[in-house]
Structure 1
Amino acid sequence: MRHGVILLPERRWADARERWVRAEQLGFDHAWMYDHLNWRWFRDKPWYALMPTLAAAATATRTMRIGTLVASPGNRHPVPFAKDMMTLDDISDGRIIAGIGAGAGGFDDQVLGRAALGPRDRADRFAEFVELTDQLLSQPVTTYRGRHFTTVEAHLHPGCVQRPRLPLAVAALGPRGIRLAARHADIWITIAWPGHGEPYRYDQAVPVIREQAALLDKECEAIGRDPATVRRMVVTGARIEGATDSVETYLDACGLYGEIGVTDLVVHWPRPDFPYQGSVEVLEEIAAAVLRPDPRPDPA
């Protein structure tokens, strides 16, 4: 099992840097940042930009992978996004992961003055975003004409440090998204249920994730892909709670999810208040018991 943590971009870099470095020291395999312009409960609170923060995090860390969780086609075009990812892959010396989701609309659409898309159009846009991003990161020159995204002779030189391209992590909960993940993803991401409704305890998510994973297996087999080549990542916090209540609950969650083929478990860095309220001390106890702490000093 690999272990990851989400760090909200709510602190000035002088403070945020300490958390990214600490996450690596605690032994997390990967750390992530949301991609929003204006996000839910933080509309009137500090909220810093994704790409500059990840560039800074890439220089502050040495071994931990870093990624977008998840970049949204609602506020990005695949061409500049792929160029940013290629550049971050270089800065991080091959540690970047491009996490992509469909985008839920809402505040980001309002900020950009866009009309919210319906479910079908949002799914169509997501499919084009994933397909085009995959092509851009895999080849030096790309031409693509879609209904939502178009590019003519987009050049990405020298390409990714990671070959044949950096990993794509695709968030998908339903049949169409999971089919897309089977075709393009190195990592499939699930939160079990959509939205930000009432959360469920981590063990209640097991049947849902098992069913989604079975569908992923089926879709991989349908296109001749070995299902074992797709990692399966569960993100807690939005709809899944309780995993970080204690060392015991975290070990239990790892065991339950591992039994159904989950390869990666992601939690949020605890905050003192809503959302993602929790104890940093408990997180450090979990790290000491489960992860592989890095004994080396801060590279500063």
Structure 2
Amino acid sequence: MRLSTVILPVHARAEAVAQWRRAEELGFHAAYTYDHLSWRTFRDGPWYDALLTLAQAASVTERLRLGTLVTTPNFRHPVTLAKDLMTLDDISGGRITIGLGAGTDGFDAAAVGIPPLSPRERADRFGELVSQLDQLLTTSDVTVAGEYFSAVEARTIPGCVQRPRIPFAVAATGPRGLRLAARFGQAWVTTGDPATFEEGTAQQSRDAIAAQVGRLEAACEAENRDPASIERILLTGFLPERALESADAFEEFALAHAALGITEVVVPAPIPETQFALADDVFEGIAALAPALADARP
């Protein structure tokens, strides 16, 4: 199992640089950031652009993988996103992963004036984003027309450092999203089952995640793909378990989820006086578990 972190884009340059360097020094496999225009309780405070934040992170780290958890169609177009990602992959020397999700009708959509979409429409739009982004990052000249996005002789030259393109980590729990993950994803992302977050138990949450993994594997089999070929990323912070109270609690949590089929767990970097107010010593203790967790297998 791999151990990674997520650093929200709320820090000005000096603090941000320290955060990304610290993540590398602590030995995390990857450090991700949220790709929003604003987010929940942080809406009225500092919030910087995710892709420019990753460019800055790439310039001050050497080994750490970098990415978003997750980018959505709410304010990203496949053509410009592909160009940004190709450039980021070059800046980082081939260390970028793009997390992709369907988005909601929240702040991001409202900020750019997108009218509310039905769940079906969001799934349709997400399918276009993923499939067109795949084309744009693997083909140097793309023309494609969709209901939500189109490209006309769009160039992505010289292409990604990583071949055939940067990895996609597709966030999904429904049938259509899981099919996209199985078809295009090098990884799948879950935050668990929202229905268990407020009032569920740890066991109910683990049962729900096990069921999600089972549906992912069924989707892979339907695509004639080996289920073992896709990584399974669990973003913590939205689960009923108290896994971040101590390093010991986290170790039990991580090993239990490795047994469910999860191959990477992402923990939030501490932000004092927020829902991510993780004690620094606990955060460092969790990071120190990385070598032991590396041997954990589904």
Taking structure 2 as the reference length, the TM-score comes to 0.93
Q: Hey, what does 2:88 align to over in structure 1?
A: 88
Task: Look up the SS of the partner of 1:11 in the other structure.
Answer: coil
Partner of 2:224: 224
The reply on whether 1:57 has 2:37 as its aligned counterpart is no
Q: Which residue of 2 is the match for residue 275 of structure 1?
A: 275
Residues 128 and 261 of structure 1: is their aligned pair in 2 closer, same or farther, counting only changes over 3 Å? Answer: same
Say whether the 8 Å CA contact 2:26–2:284 is kept in structure 1.
yes
**How high is the sequence identity, in percent, across the aligned residues?**
47
Give the match for residue 149 of structure 1: 149
Question: Do 2:64 and 2:95's aligned partners in 1 also have CA atoms closer than 8 Å?
Answer: yes
Task: Tell me if structure 1 keeps the 8 A contact 2:196–2:205.
Answer: no
Residue aligned with 1:153, SS: strand
Residue 17 of structure 1 is matched in structure 2 by 17
Deviation at 1:194, TM superposition (A): 4.0
Offset at 1:50?
Answer: 1.1
Partner of 2:259: 259
Shift of 1:126: 0.6
Give 1:238 deviation, angstroms: 2.5
Partner residue of 2:287?
A: 287
**2:186 is matched with which residue?**
186
Shift of 1:200: 5.1
How far the C-alpha of 1:175 sits from its partner, in A, is: 1.5
Segment drifting more, 14-23 vs 274-283: 274-283
CA contact (8 A) 1:172 1:188 kept: yes
2:17 paired with 1:7: no
Classify 1:185/1:289 alpha carbon distance in 2 versus 1 (closer, same or farther; 3 Å). Answer: closer
Q: What's the CA shift for 1:239? A: 3.5
Give the equivalent residue in structure 1 for 2:32. Answer: 32
Q: Counterpart of 1:98?
A: 98
RMSD: 1.7
Residue 139 of structure 2 corresponds to residue 139 of structure 1 = yes
Specify the alignment match of 2:212 in structure 1.
Answer: 212
Q: Determine the structure 2 residue equivalent to 1:111.
A: 111
Contact 2:196 2:240 in 1 (8 A): no
* Contact kept in structure 1, 2:28 and 2:290, CA below 8 Å: no
Once the two structures are TM-superposed, the CA of residue 204 in structure 1 deviates from its matched residue by: 3.7
- Matched with 2:295 is none
Inter-partner Cα distance in structure 1 for 2:248 and 2:83: 42
1:225 shift after superposition = 0.8
Q: CA deviation at 1:289?
A: 3.5
Residue 39 (structure 1) shift:
1.6
Query: How many angstroms apart in 1 are the aligned matches of 2:247 and 2:234?
Result: 18
Check whether the contact 2:3–2:287 (CA below 8 A) recurs between aligned residues: no
Q: Which runs of 5 or more residues in structure 2 are unaligned?
A: 293-298
**Distance in 2 between residues matched to 1:168 and 1:201, nearest whole Å:** 31
Q: Is the 8 A contact 1:3 1:291 kept in 2?
A: no
Q: Secondary structure at the match of 1:257?
A: helix
Q: AA paired with 1:153?
A: E
SS of 2:70's equivalent?
coil
1:247-300, CA deviations, whole angstroms, 9 ceiling, x for partnerless residues?
Answer: 1111111111111211100111122222222211111112224349xxxxxxxx
**Corresponding residue for 1:175?**
175
- The corresponding residue for 2:296 is none
Does the residue aligned with 2:32 lie in a helix, a strand or coil?
A: strand
- Show structure 1 runs of 5+ residues with no match: 293-300
Provide TM-score, normalisation by structure 1: 0.93
Letter matched to residue 278 of structure 2 = G
Q: CA deviation at 1:23?
A: 0.5
How far apart, CA to CA, are the structure 1 residues paired with 2:195 and 2:92? 32
